[in-house]
Amino acid sequence: MYNFRAFLQELSHNANIRFNLVSEDGSLIFESNLGLSNAELFILPVYLGKTKAVLSCSKEYQVCSSLLKYTIENKYREFFSLREQFLTEILEGKEVSTDKVEKSIPFLSKGCEVLIVSVEGSRYEALNIIRQLYKEQDVLSSAFGDNVVIVGNFDDIEDHAKSIRDLITSDLYCKSCVSFSNRVYDAASIKKAYEDAKECMTLGKKFGLKEEIFNYNKMLFEKIVYNISIAVKNELLVIFKEKFNLFDSEMITTIDEFINCGLNISDAARKLYIHRNTLIYRLDKINKETGFDIRNFKEATVFTIAFLVWKENKWK
Amino acid sequence: MAGLSLKHIYKVYPGNVTAVKDFNLEIEDKEFIVFVGPSGCGKSTTLRMIAGLEEISQGELSIGDRIVNDVAPKDRDIAMVFQNYALYPHMTVYDNMAFGLKLRKIPKAEIDKKVKEAAKVLDITHLLDRKPKALSGGQRQRVALGRAIVREPKVFLMDEPLSNLDAKLRVQMRTVIGKLHKTLQTTFVYVTHDQIEAMTMGTRIVVMKDGIAQQVDTPSNIYEHPTNIFVAGFIGSPQINFVEAKIAEKDGKILVAFGDDTIILPDDKSKVLRDLGYVGKDVIFGIRPEDIDDNPTFIEKHQGSIIETNVELTELMGAETYLYLSKGKLNMTIRISGTSKAKVGDKISIALDETKIHIFDKETEATVL
């Protein structure tokens, strides 16, 4: 909204018309100290995209109010579709001028993250509520490919990712995954950050990771496993596939949680809502079935790799 | 406000994995129903099917008078609260609660009224200007509840909403949610793995295992009259004592025999066992820790069920003490007064309240009496 507000300020100043613009929900978009009573005001609706707003100015400008309305609506459309278009160009790897970057993403110099939201339902509905969520923020969002891409300055990126996922679940009632990568400071790096986030989304889905929030920096292990040669993967599958196939969902969840908790029995037992002795019993059973005691770091490493390879194979 | 009806509900995942099997339940309007069971028992899947987050493979789901199998989730008029409900980090508590209503284009004055009312109910009015970062875990969960409350849905669905809180906060929040149910007079469907939450909050409890509802009943009935070994063992802390035994008859009396000991059963229980042909059969008997005592007056009253045991461990809990006892292969936990003088290594006499004994079929694990 920053650049749009600057435009409204410029419009008011250059046209020498004082006006206020208030959105339908009552939030103030622009104010130029009218200082008039209600009886002296002329009011007309303005549409900013799908959002309705109210434009108020002095009755003496009633004749030019339609022109004012047209200018504001047109600029809003141009401004936001331009920003969206601009983001698409960056993500497609097209050359963009520094001037354009400064105009469209003025907050980029402060640092930005790229988030990808993959939704099982309508991505346009998801995009719409994400835009509502970040209406007043330094955030740019667009539908790109099959996903929604968000570029913004987020202090607590993980919290934002979780809240976006929960928003989609609670308001659109559909599943979603969110991935993100490192903070970037220039337009060229946005493309790289997008590719990283996309890669970690692919890995997260391939390995069926439970959390649905995929952080590029925490997925190096999955990346390494993904890049293991097919011959080695097949070798691991020969040893483990049948054994893992025999485990029921409770056992698979146990393995998942134990690995996620860094092989910490107490943490894993708490997350699984079971007594630690029950977990120890299950780990013994895994040892008996597979010959791998996953309480032992070295054995757990091979086991975890095999487990991820099996999951990747299963999700194919 | 509305009741719910689940008829022959199934959830089958690809690969023929059945998560929920033939689930039947009628939930009345304004009822507080709790789904409880171990992880993977299908309780969250059932809740998610009610919400519309999971497709129903087979069966019929109604909210109020309307079958909602094919109704879009957003049109089901429900609100969900999750375990890790993330608040919008850049918004104040007020805006967090108001956001859902803004999306629905509710007028500003109405939003303000609803948010303030919900904040009052949840006792978070003083937090409305704060950002989530400045809130404690319990306060965050209250805000998450507030976000659901302002929507005034027909049904609240809560999936382990307290699991992320520490023990003390969980107790506090249990009271908050209980009060909320009374204030809002709306149907609540609540999922938990915690039997204490289930017992203290629910008007009725659904105990689930392997995708099947094992028992649907009031907390007291579930506790006092479990339908099988699983329910008896799942509800109650410390857990009910199970003992492998044989039903025998001596001098016209029906006995439960185990190891070197016998318990004479009261006439009403004896009649049932005799009528059902259990005399001479192997069974499992269960008795809750509070139905066993070492108090002389109690022992005097239950002369037909006295056992000599060794004290293996004592746990003083304050007002009460848990004694872990053994005799040969027999292990038992009893809950007695905190003033008990029993020490580790003592040999003590205990008596079982024979009227409180549960008998389970050894093969089917179903309750006989």
pLDDT at A307 over 90: yes
Name which of B51, B82, B103 is nearest A132 (Cβ-Cβ). Answer: B103
Rounded Cα distance between A209 and A198, Å, is 15
Handedness of CA A167, A170, A172, A177 (dihedral sign): positive
Categorize the per-residue pLDDT at A75 as very low, low, confident or very high, splitting at 50, 70 and 90: confident
Nearest to A250 among B40, B79, B80 (CB): B40
| Angle of helix B167-184 versus helix B137-149 axis, rounded to 10 | 20
ipTM over 0.85: no
Q: Pick from A163, A170, A171: which is nearest to B89 by CB?
A: A163
Record: contact B38-A253, CB cut-off 8 A: no
Residue A114: both structure tokens together: 């790229």
pLDDT at position B219 is: 96
Residue A315: is its pLDDT beyond 70?
Answer: no
Cα nearest neighbour of B147 on chain A: A170
Does the distance separating the beta carbons of A171 and B73 come in below 8 Å? no
The band of A316, judged by pLDDT with boundaries at 50, 70 and 90, is low
DSSP state for residue B252 in the 8-state scheme: T
Per-residue pLDDT at A50 = 66
> Does the beta-carbon distance from A165 to B87 stay under 8 Å?
no
The burial class, CB within 10 Å (0-12 / 13-18 / 19+), for A107 is middle
Nearest residue on chain B to A129, judged by CA atoms? B103
Residue from the list B38, B53, B194 with its beta carbon closest to the beta carbon of A169: B53
**pLDDT value at A92 more than 90:** no
- Shortest Cα–Cα distance, B36 to chain A (Å): 12
The residue of chain A nearest to residue B19, with distances taken between CA atoms, is A249
Interface A–B counts its CB contacts (< 8 A) at: 70
Is A167 in contact with B105 (Cβ distance < 8 A)?
no
Helix-strand-coil split of chain A, %, nearest 5: 60, 15, 25
Predicted confidence at residue B16, as pLDDT, reads: 78
Which helix (H) or strand (E) segment is A304 a member of?
helix A297-315
Contact between A249 and B17 (Cβ < 8 Å): yes
Interface contact A173-B53, CB threshold 8 A? yes
- Using CB atoms, pick whichever of A155, A163, A272 lies closest to residue B87: A163
Distance from CA of A173 to the nearest CA of B (A): 6
Whose CA is closest to A117, among A125, A105, A107?
A: A125
Chain A environment of B99 (Cβ under 8 Å): 132-133
Whether A210 has a pLDDT exceeding 80, the answer reads: no
Could A172 and B84 be called an inter-chain contact, meaning their C-beta atoms sit closer than 8 Å? no
Between chains, do B89 and A166 touch, taking CB under 8 Å as contact? no
Rounded CA separation A82/B73 (Å): 34
Query: Nearest residue of B to residue A211 by CA position?
Result: B84
Determine the residue of chain A that is closest to B95 in CA distance. Answer: A133
Asked if B89 lies within 8 A of A156 by C-beta distance, the reply is yes
Position with higher pLDDT, A28 vs A91: A91
Shortest Cα–Cα distance, B303 to chain A (Å): 37
Phi-psi sector, B358: left (phi>0), alpha (psi -120 to 50), beta: beta
B108 vs A contacts (CB less than 8 Å): 25-26
> Of the candidates A259, A253, A250, A257, which has an alpha carbon nearest to the alpha carbon of residue A292?
A259
- Total count of residues recorded for chain A: 316
Does the global pTM surpass 0.80?
A: no
* Residue numbers in chain B where pLDDT is lower than 70: 1
Could you give the CA distance from residue A55 to residue A57 in angstroms, rounded to a whole number? Answer: 7
The pLDDT of residue A162 is 93
**Cβ distance B265 to B285 under 8 Å?**
no
Q: A175 contacts in B (CB within 8 Å)?
A: 53
- Encode pLDDT of A22-73 as tens digits: 887 777 788 887 777 888 889 999 988 767 889 999 888 888 889 999 999 8
The 10 Å CB-count burial string (b at 16+, else e) for A293-305 is: ebeeeeebeebbb
Asked if the Cβ–Cβ distance from A156 to B38 is below 8 Å, we say no
Q: Which site among B88, B112, B133, B163 would you substitute to test the A interface, given the most A Cβ atoms closer than 10 Å to its Cβ?
A: B88
Chain B residues in contact with A163 (beta carbon < 8 A): 86-89
Q: In what order do the strands lie in the sheet with B204-209?
A: B78-81, B155-159, B187-192, B32-36, B204-209, B212-217
State how far residue A213 is from chain B, nearest Cα, in angstroms: 12
Q: Could you report the per-residue pLDDT of A139-163, keeping only the tens digit for each?
A: 888 888 889 999 999 988 999 999 9
Contact B72 A173 (CB under 8 A): yes
Tokens of B312: 């293996």
Q: Which two tokens stand for residue A181?
A: 């990568």
What are A158's two structure tokens? 């993980």
Q: Do A273 and B105 touch (CB under 8 A)?
A: no
pLDDT band at A5 (very low <50, low <70, confident <90, very high): confident
Q: Which of B13, B102, B110, B115 would best serve as a mutation to test chain A binding (most A beta carbons within 10 A)?
A: B102
> A41 forms bridges with which residues in the sheet?
A58
CA of A24, closest CA in chain B: separation in Å? 8
How far is Cα B146 from Cα B243, in angstroms, rounded to an integer? Answer: 47
Interface of A with B (CB under 8 A): 24-26, 129, 132-134, 137, 155-156, 159-160, 162-163, 165-167, 169-175, 249-250, 253, 272-274
Hunting for tokens 């007291």 — which residue is that? B220
> What's the CA gap between B45 and B33, in Å, rounded?
15
For residues B72 and B53, give the distance between their C-alpha atoms in angstroms, rounded to a whole number. 10
Strand partners, B207: B36, B215
Which residue pairs, CB below 8 angstroms and at least 24 apart, start in B262-266?
B263/B304, B263/B305, B263/B352, B263/B354, B263/B357, B264/B304, B264/B305, B264/B354, B265/B354, B265/B357, B266/B354, B266/B355
Q: Which residue of chain A comes nearest to B192, CA vs CA?
A: A273
Distance (Å, rounded) from C-alpha A21 to C-alpha A24?
10
Interface residues of B toward A, Cβ cutoff 8 Å, are 17, 38-40, 51-53, 72-74, 79-80, 82, 84-90, 99-100, 102-103, 105, 108, 111, 132-133, 147, 163, 193-194
Q: Do A250 and B39 touch (CB under 8 A)?
A: yes
Residue in chain B closest to A250 (alpha carbons) equals B40
Instruction: Give the CA radius of gyration of chain A.
Output: 26
pLDDT for the residue A163: 93
Query: DSSP states of A4-56 as a string?
Result: HHHHHHHHHHHHT--EEEEETTS-EEE-------GGGEEEEEEEETTEEEEEE
**Which residues in chain B are closer than 8 Å to A171, comparing Cβ atoms?**
74, 100, 103
Do the chains contact at A155 and B89, CB–CB below 8 Å?
Answer: yes
Using a CB-CB cut-off of 8 Å, the residues of chain A touching B143 are none
